[in-house]
Amino acid sequence: MTLTRAFLTAAVLGLCLGCEDKPKETKAADLDAGKGSALDPKLAEAVAAAGSKGAKPGAGAATDDGPPPNGIFEAGKADAQLEHGKPPKIVLGEAGAEPRAVLTGTIPPGYKQSGTFEVTLRLGRAQLPALAVSLSIEAPKPKAPAPAGAAPAAAPAPPSDTTPIGAKITEVKLTGDVGPQGKDLGAQLSRMKGSKIDFSVVGGGVGVDFTQQLAKGATPELDMVLRAVAESLEATAIGFPKEPVGPGGYWLITTRGNAGGAEVIGYRLVKLEKVDGDNLTLSVSTKRYSVSHKVEIPGIPPGAELDQFQSTTEAKLVLKKGEAIARSGTSKQTLAAGLIPAGGGDQRLGIQSIADVTIAIGQK
């Protein structure tokens, strides 16, 4: 095992903060997530309201059919919020000040941009050196018209508001001096070139169905870096309501996807902070809940199940009017979870991670 592989493995195993005889609540505040970047208080209210509205007739409070206190929905409860395969729900909270405008973003045919994501990743007590991850982000090019005299083309498919997007890693490099192991670590990171992140942008500009695949030959532990980039990329595909909004306006987006190795229901509170010409400044507070006790995390023994789950993202983004993907910004992703090892018993494993990411897309 190389020095770098040992370092990465130690980082993953550093997620496991030890076994305990009794379950101990793992709080996002323990990750310093609450210092200067607490979730917008309106998010808690909006999530509770979404839970109440999503509940079936005759159901009790939001905690019965809405977001659960331990962050994990019991069997079947998540479907009351959003069923698997259903499009995101966007609900306007406040329209904001005048002037207001409809801000729905679109992906033009043949969309192509380059991006750089500067990542600092902390896992339990271990921290990876600062990285710069370069991406090429593309939408499929429109098909060329059939040549004259060619056989009639099949009837075109009905128009769709879903645009598939592919992002491919073109380079990963260290951004600082990490000492003697830097050369070896840099070589391991370079093997991430060619790793893929695929997703779709649907009506209103919301990014959904994110999947990631490490390049062949990349160390499996580097999946945690790819996930951090994917979740930051998800934050850039914000989504807008159909109604006009102005400065101070906010809306709640409910999605179903994946985060931290679990299938989740995500509640994203978006606030339009400022309009400066064609530039929109937005703040995004996201809280996620696992739809079940199942989880798959590289480095964690298979068969472990979630006992507690907390996943949040705080982002500040700048986006051009009419576009669906933000041009620049920052995001802070936190994960805190408790797991029951395979076989049960009184032992618990604790997981903590923080990813700070600076985003630049299409910047020259």
Across the chain, which distance is largest between two alpha carbons, in Å?
76
Higher pLDDT among residues 262 and 27, named by residue: 262
Q: How far is CA 1 from CA 4, 67, 123, 126, 181, in A?
A: 8, 43, 21, 19, 13
Pairing of strands 206-213, 279-290: unpaired
162 within 8 A of 202, measured Cβ to Cβ: yes
Distance CA 138, CA 112 (A): 4
Distance CA 286, CA 71 (A): 13
* Degrees, nearest 5: CA angle 229-231-234: 110
Q: What is the pLDDT of residue 228?
A: 92
| ω into 57 cis (within 30 of 0) | no
pLDDT single digits (tens) 276-295: 999 999 999 999 999 999 88
pLDDT-derived band at 181 (thresholds 50, 70, 90) equals low
pLDDT single digits (tens) 116-161: 999 999 988 888 889 999 999 999 876 665 565 655 555 444 345 7
pTM exceeding the 0.85 threshold for the entire prediction: no
**CATH no., domain 68-139+161-361:** 2.30.230
119 within 8 A of 104, measured Cβ to Cβ: no
pLDDT single digits (tens) 305-357: 899 999 999 999 999 999 999 999 999 999 999 988 887 667 778 888 999 99
Taking the domains of the chain in order of start, what are their residue ranges?
Answer: 68-139+161-361
DSSP, collapsed to helix, strand or coil, labels residue 185 as: helix
Q: DSSP states of 100-131 as a string?
A: -B----B--TT-EEEEEEEEEEEETTEEPPPE
At 320, the amino acid letter reads: K
DSSP, collapsed to helix, strand or coil, labels residue 188 as: helix
Q: What is the pLDDT of residue 125?
A: 80
Residues 209-217 have a mean pLDDT of: 93
Residue 264 has pLDDT above 50, yes or no: yes
Distance CA 247, CA 140 (A): 34
Q: DSSP states of 10-22 as a string?
A: HHHHTT-----SS
Portion of the chain with pLDDT greater than 70, in percent? 74
pLDDT-derived band at 17 (thresholds 50, 70, 90) equals very low
